Homo-oligomer: A and B are copies of this chain.
Amino acid sequence: MADDTALRSRDRRPRPGGEDAAREAAGPDYVLEHQVGHLLRRAHQRHAALFQGMLADAVGSDAALTPTQWAALVKLAGLGEATQNALGRLTAMDPATTQGVVRRLIARGLVSRAADPADRRTLKLSVTQAGREAVAAALPAACAISEATLAPLSDEERDLFLDLLQRMAFA
């Protein structure tokens, strides 16, 4: 696997045209750290780290939920009842992902499923009493996490950022 076609990476041979070797290698003006995609990924990573740490501190690491699980649980709590795929659409998860998330929530006793006699394809999901208590217990932390994620910005910047981000997300 270690073929030797590699070790000519640094033969910087300034061509008469004047193009620079590093620019030739990485491309002109393409700085990874300035690309939206990379910045979105890093910001999302930072939020996920804050979420995991702060929620575990608030409710205990054994009762902690992932961001995705929290999204599904809160959404379902607000709906009262929903089909699995419908819940997935409202939380931006595809059916395969939703299946895993819901399965873990059920395994924890936070969500229950029931067959729908009117449509035998679907599953009616609802939040159990333990699920409602979990939402109530985690809610203050969830708010604090959103706060902490936005901490680098001033109040006016937060409003502006959220507005622009929303347009980026739902375009």
Dominant SS at the A interface? helix
- Of the candidates B27, B44, B51, the one whose C-beta lies within 8 Å of that of A74 is B27
Query: Nearest chain-B residue to A143 (Cβ)?
Result: B30
Taking the closest CB of chain B, its distance from the CB of A67, in whole angstroms, is 6
Chain B residues whose CB sits within 8 angstroms of the CB of A81 once the complex forms: 9-10
> CA A113 – CA B3 in complex, angstroms?
8
CB pair A51 B37 closer than 8 Å: yes
CB pair B46 A36 closer than 8 Å: no
CB pair B3 A112 closer than 8 Å: yes
CB pair B114 A2 closer than 8 Å: yes
Interface centre among A7, A127, A128, A168 (most CB of B within 10 A): A168
Taking the closest CB of chain B, its distance from the CB of A153, in whole angstroms, is 6
Chain B residues whose CB sits within 8 angstroms of the CB of A2 once the complex forms: 112-114
CB pair B6 A112 closer than 8 Å: yes
Q: How large is the interface on A (under 10, 10 to 19, 20 to 34, 35 or more residues)?
A: 35 or more
Using a CB–CB distance below 8 Å, which chain A residues touch chain B? 1-10, 21-22, 25-27, 30, 32, 34-48, 51, 67, 71, 74-75, 77-82, 89-92, 106-107, 109, 112-114, 126-130, 132, 135-136, 139, 142-143, 145-146, 149-153, 157, 160-162, 164-171
Decide yes or no: A36 and B165 within 8 Å by CB, A74-B30, A114-B6, A126-B7 being known contacts.
yes
